Chain A
């Protein structure tokens, strides 16, 4: 079952362009069917663990795919958000040409992300990361207008530099440990300790994956690239890509492979707080809806990294919980922005207003998304932020707790700005005769809004051991399982 997560989207990515010359509806149907299958598979893998040896080769020779609590969590996030994005694309992508190329690239990206969260081999991770990144570069440039191309070029250059750093770090790792299997590298490092070349490899990994995750010193590409992409792709990029190939890999490497130390935790906390503050403050001044959401992504990734950087069990739970929650509400907000752009052709908040009366469903779901991201009870964002703040207090970092609360208020303020300028108030002239958004665009927004409420129920099993999240945190804290 494990290799299907990579095999299905990879295979369909090749089949779709082949069959769609004759059948014009094929890309829509096949793309959505693939994502439905993958979501079902991801949900079916809850609670399971396992190792798959690719090609039947045993561990030191062949490549493993490993499924554990953390991989399951990420798989669910990637595939659920992916399904929402493909449903949304059916009508939204009429604004662009050549849909089959779009679905093909989309499925490559999903295959790459699923591969990254499953693989147990360093070089295999690099390959899957490149599959996901290259298709995302192409998808950012999909519109082929001035802004899209400029953003895509910036993104491609910075992304390639990051990939080169990662490859160099993998070379150092292989040179020092003589193996590429993550579990073997981990035991080797645990028994022999860190050497200078390994420290250098670690810092290269931090730079490389920090760039992919858009942590603050490396965030410059994100606010250009994410708004330039088509809306469902923005939802995928901000919702899951920066987490799957950025935050997840960083966490996996630091906690499971290199072994976490106090210095590294401190570094994570600083990176987290910096991203949280800088991203939040820059978001306030934005007038482009999608650009504002992109800056807010930087800020929310800061929360996740801060939670992980606390290193306590509660902190890990909070960080991972916020990771899934953020993928849900940020993709919801980007889909809302897409719906607004679809109906009005406008992204500048100063030219919008009163859309609640014309597009009640978009307005309502976007209110849910905004309140969830700002941490208003009873939505999911409230609980994950609460756990992170509690974890800060519990481990004695009072200043961090206060910063997290203050930045949550800042988030509330710029989300209210979106609500106030786009959805509330009187309808602006020219916006009162809008066409209704199609049902297939409304459905994913509704599903994600329901999930914003539903994800809050994960904590019914206790604040420090939420469903789904606790096995993932255990996987991070406990290291690789052996079979």
Chain B
């Protein structure tokens, strides 16, 4: 059930990217979309009332596997958050430069390229 929340987030993001005219809002929509995917990845490995995935010497291996949260998606999400940070920084820089050139954030007024 909780998975559908991620898809709502992704859908909201995609809607924003497609429909919004303000480039800053497009950037925000993209960020929302990425959060939705990250949340989905985390939920994939999550186990309610699970243990943290740190094994000590005393722990029983089979019991640990049965109870612990899957650590791999967490590692993946960390990487993907860093990547989306890079993209976000680049896009914000592009927005600033675009505003300097065109004097507007409205994408419908940036129409030098066509054909």
Contacts and interface: CB of A to CB of B under 8 A. Distances in A.
B94 A164 contact: no
A263 B113 CA distance: 37
A156 B112 contact: no
Contacts of B30: 157, 160-161, 164
A134 interface: yes
Given A156-B94, A161-B30, A150 B112 contact: yes
Interface residues of B, number: 33
B14 interface: yes
Nearest to A145: B101
B98 A150 contact: yes
Nearest to A150: B110
B91 A156 contact: yes
Interface in A122-161: 123, 126-127, 130, 134, 137-138, 141, 144-147, 149-153, 156-157, 160-161
A144 B97 contact: yes
A167 B90 contact: no
Contact of B115 (A134, A156, A291): A291
A167 B90 CA distance: 19
Interface string B60-87: 0000000000001100100110010011
Given A157-B17, A171-B41, A174-B44, A149 B90 contact: no
A147 B112 contact: yes
B41 to A, nearest CB: 5
Nearest to A131: B83
Contacts of A138: 90
Contact of B79 (A127, A146, A175, A228): A127
Contacts of B10: 164, 168
Interface residues of A, number: 35
A150 B111 CA distance: 8
B64 to A, nearest CB: 16
A228 B34 CA distance: 27
A153 B113 CA distance: 12
A167 B34 CA distance: 9
Contacts of B87: 130, 134, 137, 156, 160, 163
A28 interface: no
A157 to B, nearest CB: 6
Contacts of A151: 113
B65 to A, nearest CB: 12
Contacts of A56: none
Contacts of B90: 134, 137-138, 156
Per DSSP, chain B at the interface is: helix
Interface string A166-186: 011001001100001000000
A149 B97 contact: yes
A381 B10 CA distance: 43
Interface in B14-35: 14, 17, 23, 26, 30, 33-34
Contact of A141 (B72, B73, B97): B97
A228 B113 CA distance: 10
Contacts of A224: 113
Would you list the 6 A-B pairs with minimal beta carbon distance, nearest first?
A: A224-B113, A171-B41, A130-B83, A175-B44, A168-B37, A150-B110
Interface of A: 123, 126-127, 130, 134, 137-138, 141, 144-147, 149-153, 156-157, 160-161, 163-164, 167-168, 171, 174-175, 180, 223-224, 228, 285-286, 291
Given A146-B101, A150-B110, 11 more contacts: A126-B80, A130-B83, A147-B113, A149-B94, A150-B113, A153-B91, A156-B90, A160-B87, A161-B30, A174-B72, A223-B115
27 contacts: A123-B76, A123-B79, A127-B83, A130-B86, A137-B87, A141-B94, A145-B101, A146-B101, A146-B110, A149-B94, A150-B98, A150-B110, A153-B91, A153-B95, A153-B98, A153-B110, A156-B91, A157-B17, A157-B30, A160-B87, A163-B83, A163-B87, A168-B40, A174-B44, A180-B72, A223-B115, A228-B113
